Amino acid sequence: MPDSSLPPDATPPLRVTVDLNRCQAYAQCCYAAPGHFVLHGREALFYDPAPSSSARLAIERARVSCPVQAIRVEDPERQGR
């Protein structure tokens, strides 16, 4: 089913979610993908749930650098993880 929130010819964004039960605010994602992950206060991680596909490499860096492996990414152009 096409996502109705997108114009038909746009590249679909990545889909990101972080298990914030797991997250312990090591902030490695904030260094790997600044602008897509940011800490508010000491431990409150805010993240962009729909980064543009052009941020693919930075998001992948963030995913693999997470010490507690809390980041899940779906890349519509590849199979989801």
Partner 1 sequence: MRSMDAERKNTGGHTVVVGASLAGLRGAEALRRAGFAGRLTLVGDEPHRPYDRPPLSKSALTGEVAPEATVLPNLHALAADWRLGVAATGLDRQAREVRLADGTTLSYDRLLIATGSRARSWPNPTEAGLAGVHTLRGRDDAAALRQALAPGPKRVLIIGAGFIGCEVAASCRALDRAVTLIDPGPAPLARILGQPVGEIVAALHRALGVDLRSRTKVARLEGNEAGRVVRAILEDGNVVETDLVVVALGAVRNTEWLSGSGLDAGPGGVVCNEAGHALDTEGRPDRAIAAAGDVARFPHPLFDGRPVALEHWGHAVAQGEHAGRLLAGEANETDYAEMPAFWSSQGGITIKSVGLTEGADSMVFAQGSPKEGRFVVVYGAKGRCIAAVSFDSARWLPAYAEQIAARAPFPPICGGTDEHNLTVLSPGFPEKRTSP
Shortest distance in whole angstroms from residue 12 CB to partner 1: 10
- Integer Cα distance of 33 and 19 in angstroms: 17
3-state secondary structure (DSSP) of residue 10: coil
Nearest by Cα to 14 from 27, 33, 30, 31:
33
55 is a contact residue toward partner 1 (CB under 8 A):
no
User: What are 59's two structure tokens?
Assistant: 């998001």
54 is a contact residue toward partner 1 (CB under 8 A):
no
C-beta neighbour count of 69 within 10 angstroms = 11
Q: Closer to partner 1 by CB, 5 or 8: give it.
A: 5
Helices then strands, counting H and E runs in the chain, come out as 2, 4
Residue selected from 16, 29, 30, 62 as contacting partner 1 according to rule CB under 8 A: 16
Residue selected from 7, 10, 24, 60 as contacting partner 1 according to rule CB under 8 A: 24
> Interface residues with partner 1 (CB under 8 A)?
1, 3, 5, 13-17, 19-21, 23-25, 40-44, 46, 48-50, 72-74, 79-81
